[in-house]
Each structure stands twice: as structure tokens, then as C-alpha cells.
Structure 1
Amino acid sequence: MSLNRPARPLKLCLVCDDFARGMNFDVLTCMSCKAFFRRHAAQAGKELRCLLNNDCSITQQTRGACSACRLKKCLALGMNPALIRSSPKKLKNTTQSQLCDASIEDKQIVRLPQPTTLSLLAKDNSTLTFDEWNLLSNVIHAYDEENVITAAQKLLREQASLPVKIRAKRMMVFELIGTFFSAIKPFLYYSPHFHSLSPDVRRVLIENNLNGMGALNAMFGAYELKLFGNDSHVRTCYEIYGEEYVKDSELLANRSEQNGTLVKMFLITLAFSTNCSLVEECQITTSTNTSVTSSIALTRIQDVFIVMLWKYLVYQYGYLGAVRRLDHLVKFYLDILNRLNELNSKEHRDMINVIIDQTTHSLTLDD
């Protein structure tokens, strides 16, 4: 496949955003998070307790504040306790009888703390399999290859350094917003599932879904970066989109899902969807649309990602919490699609069409 591989940005730890030192226990992490996971993985659900709401933000600055939430994030990202090895020195100083007596406990430490079984259906124990954890980790890694939040922060810093009169011009606003739409391209590029589809199917998926995916990504980014608190940016957005549209968009962004892992999983699920986007009749031909909706391969891929998404939700929030979270996420996305339908900026539409054309050309070449 003759694709131009995107330039790799500086790699960051997926747990705390510190500089990453490599893959540790199946996830890209820094040395601090590697050591933390080695020490604490056997204690999941036992000794570690969050003193707040079990939803602490884990960053390089806060990672030492809550071990329970840090460990939960490690496991959610796919760090594998089965890869932790027992210390040779400890084994050397332990008698054979002690080893026998402690064999069950040692095996538990070496293997993993399995998530509590929360049955959804009689045949589904709602725990992610080893392959599903790996897939989840790969999805997050693929998204983070673009480092879109870091790139957007850099653009904002560059704008802030300019004189007030030329700060946040229309071109700069479009460049910033376009960053979140362009980030979908490498996200799909690193997906083997995407490349397993025919070029025609890939093309239709990009044309149908990239606009909605990019808008969801932009809303998440606006919330993370507090863009609506940037006066220069907001004033220029008023000029482009109209004050009412921007204020309504701010209210929508404030409802954004705060779990970044969940957003990334939802994005990749939407990427393979055939009925979660606003599609104009002229965009696709009937024959091509039929080939997509009848594709057995695509249906199987959809099953893989929706099962992974649901199991992750149940693992993180329990059954009722998963229902509420998914309901909120779907409603949030539908409201985003509604906002897109009301958009009246030709400049914005032209920008998105260029990004869609570039992504389609890059990702639909024959293998």
C-alpha cells in the first residue's frame, strides 16, 4: 500500500502524558507509570480506594494523588498484569514449602485482577477478553499518534504571541478547527480493520462519517482546551458562524464526555457505521451504498467495536452506569449532527470538503 505515513510526533505516556519510554505491559508509558503498575496491579479492587468520585484526572502533575484512579486508568488502557514477573531475588529467599503454601496467591499476582463479572446476557460475562484489551489499547495509541490536543495547544500559543490586531484571524480559526477533523485520517490509517475493507467501502465510510467524527472530536477538543474561554477565538467565531450558533455550540461542548478513552472508542465505532451520519443524496450512488450496507466484512467489524465499547462501559461504570453513559454519548452525537445541519458557513463547509477529499484520496488507494 503506497500511503504517505504521517510524521510521528513526540511519544507521550498514555496514562499521565509524561514522556514515554516505550511499551510496558502492552501500553506506551513512562517509567513512573511502568513502576507504579508493577507495584500496584495485584491490588485492584482490594486496598486502593479513591477518596473522591472514582474519576480523578491523571496527569504528570496529579498522578501521585490517587493511586486507585491511576490504576483504573492503567487497566482501562489495556496494561496487562499477566506480563508482570515475580522477583527472582524474592523467589530465591523463599523456601519450597512457602512457595507451595503461597502458590495460589502468587498465581493471582502473576496473572491479573480480573474485572468483576457483570452479566448483561446469559452468555455474556461482560469482561473484555485479552484480544479486546489489546484492541482498545491499539485504538487509543492510534489516536494519540496525532497528538491533536498538543498540536492545538501549540497553535493557540502561537496565536497568543501575535499582536492583538492580528490574533485569531479567520484563517487561524479554521486551521485550529481543521486540526481536529484532520486528526481522523491517521486514526483510520493505523486501523487494520479499515484497510481490510475494499477501497469503495472505505471511500463511502470516509465521505459519510468524517464530518460527524471530526465535529465530535472538535467538541471534545474545545472542552479540553477551554476554547470558548478564549476571547479572541470566540470573537472571530462570531464573525464566521454567528453569535447564536457559537453560544449554542458552547453549551453543547460543555456536555462533552470527559473520559477521553471512551471518546476515542466511540469515534472508531462511528468510523465503521453506515447509519450514524447526515448524508446528502448526491454524495453516494445507490449501487455503492448497497455494497456498503450489505458488506458482511463491515458488519463483522461493527460487531467487534460495539461489543468492545459496551464491555468497556460495563467494566468502568457497571450495567446501569453503562446504559446512562451510552445514552448520554449517543444523544450528544445526535445533537452535534443537528448542529452541523444548521451550519451556514460556506468557508467551514469548503474546509471540511477539502479535508474529506484529501483523506479519501490518501486512504482509498488500492493495496
Structure 2
Amino acid sequence: MHISNIRKNDFIFKFSNPTLNLLDSNQSTLSIDKWNFLSNLVRCFDENSGYKFVADFIEEQSALPLKLRFKYSSVNPFFTSMMSKVQLVFEKNRDFLLLSQHDRTVLLKNTVEYTATIGGMFILRQSRLLDDFSFSQSAEMIFQPSGMIFIKRVIDQFDSDDTFIKLILTILAFATINYTVYRKNIQINLTNMKVILPIQDMYTELTWQYLVDKYGHLQAVKRFSNLLKCLFSVTKAIVEVHQVQKFTDIINSIIEQTEETNF
């Protein structure tokens, strides 16, 4: 399958309009302040996660002759840029910016494998790039076929509610428990855990209230349960692709770019 029929403007319109419908706020049990906070959070994601970058990439590739589209030489730098842009979402988060430089650095290094990886897979689902045979082949050359099997499995497990995924990604950006950190000499001590824990609680509570408000208690429980299964699959995927030097290079590149730009 080829995705050359995707138009740039259609792509940007589709992925810059979240599933969150603010018109429903009149019937919501969430307060106006929480609805506004949720709206701003979703808007931050949509404005900074690189939708336009992906749309431009698809448009550029679609303009090439069929045999030249989505070659390794193009897809390889695409992944680094795409995952770096997704990471910007969390670095521009207002609560993240209120933390000390030390704690921002610690959180970045300890969560980037999850936030950039899950965020990148989310963008791949949105763009349907993996439906293109040529792109998928090039991706396998980067992450190996075994790694792509895990990546596609995670994408298939993603919740259908985009707003829910964006909220979960924000929670993960403030996570203080690490499962798949392989880098050496990483600082793990946060200077002010008392500030970070309430942020975790706030986003978790907001996510739960959003789900209950939109789907009811039973469906909220089911979605959180499915989320846990998905996160286990994410961990397996990260462990698998960590055997590939390219993935390590991408993660290190994101950290270096962030430290040079923001810290």
C-alpha cells in the first residue's frame, strides 16, 4: 500500500484537531478550569509534536517517483527528527518548566525512552506511515524486523481516544520510576520530589476524571486496564530495540539537543 494520496492540508487538519470536544464541557462534571487546562494541554501537544513536519515529509516523498519514495536515506533521519519534535511537547509543558534545571534534566534522561518512543509510535499511527510498504521496509532496516514487530504490536494496542494517549504521555513525562534505562552515569536523585509528586497526582486525577466523564466508570476502568497491558508491550519494545545502535543514537541525540537548547 502507498500513501501518496494523502494531501498535506488534509493531514494537518486531521491531526491538529483533537478528539476532545470542548462543546461538551457544558454537560461535563469537570470544572471550567480543568476543561481549560485539558484544552491547553491538548493544544500544546498538537502545536509542538511535529504534525506539520510529518505532513511535509509525506508530501516531499509523495512527489518523488514511486521507486524513490521512503528510502532508508530519508527515513533514517526522519525518525530522529520526528522523535525529537515529539519530545518538545513535554519540554514546553508549564509544570515541567517550573522545575529546577537539575530536576528537568533528571526527568528528561529517565523518561525520554518512554516519552519519545511512545510519542513517536503515536505519530506513526496517526500518519499511517507504516501502512506504506516502502516506509515499513526502511523502518525495519533501522530497528530490525524483530523490533518492528514489537512496535506494531504497541501501535495496535493504543487506545482509540487520542486525548487519553496525550494525557498518559504527559504523566509519563513526570514519572520517577524507571524500568529500561541503559545509559551509564545517570543522575537519579531529584532535588524536590515534593513538587513532582503533586504534579503526577494532578495529571493522573485529570485523566481519570476525563475518562469517567466521557465513558463512565466501567469503561474508564477497562481503558486503564488496557493501558497497563500496552505499557508492558512498550517496555518489551524498548528492550528489543535497545539492541539496535540506531535507537540508542536517537535517544542520545534527543538528550543532547534538549540540553543544548533548553538547559
Tell me the TM-score normalized by structure 1: 0.62
- Structure number with higher helix proportion: 2
The match for 1:17 is: 13
Q: 1:195 to 1:334 in 2, by over 3 A?
A: same
Paired residues of 1:216 and 1:333 also in contact (CA < 8 A): no
Paired residues of 1:202 and 1:363 also in contact (CA < 8 A): no
**Quick one: which of 22, 25, 29 aligns to 1:74?**
22
The match for 1:306 is: 204
- Deviation of 1:194 (Å): 0.8
Q: 1:249 to 1:290 in 2, by over 3 A?
A: closer
The match for 1:235 is: 137
Any idea what SS the aligned residue of 2:184 has?
helix
Any idea what SS the aligned residue of 1:291 has?
coil
**Quick one: which of 268, 272, 276 aligns to 2:174?**
272
- Deviation of 1:338 (Å): 1.5
- Deviation of 1:224 (Å): 1.8
Based on CA coordinates, which of the two structures has the bigger radius of gyration?
1
| Residue 30 (structure 2) pairs with residue 128 (structure 1) | yes
**Quick one: which of 172, 190, 194 aligns to 2:92?**
190
Paired amino acid for 1:211: E
The match for 2:162 is: 260
Q: Distance in 1 between matches of 2:41 and 2:161?
A: 14
The match for 1:67 is: none
Structure 2: 5+ residue stretches without partners: 1-8
Paired amino acid for 2:244: S
Q: 1:75 to 1:265 in 2, by over 3 A?
A: farther
The match for 1:282 is: 184
The match for 1:291 is: 190
Q: 1:284 to 1:244 in 2, by over 3 A?
A: closer
Matched residue pairs, number?
A: 251
Once the two structures are superposed, residues 228-280 of structure 1 have per-residue CA deviations (whole angstroms, 9 ceiling, x without a partner) of 21011111122222223323422331222221111111111111110154223
User: Which residues in structure 2 correspond to 1:1-367 (within 5 Å)?
Assistant: 17=13, 73-75=21-23, 112-113=26-27, 115=28, 127-146=29-48, 148-280=50-182, 282-285=184-187, 289-291=188-190, 295-343=193-241, 344-364=243-263
- Deviation of 1:167 (Å): 2.7
The match for 1:98 is: none
Structure 1: 5+ residue stretches without partners: 1-11, 21-28, 30-56, 59-71, 81-111, 116-126
Name the stretch that deviates more: 305-314 or 168-177: 168-177
Q: 1:299 to 1:190 in 2, by over 3 A?
A: same
Q: Distance in 2 between matches of 1:265 and 1:337?
A: 19
Q: Structure 1 vs Structure 2: percent identity of aligned residues?
A: 25
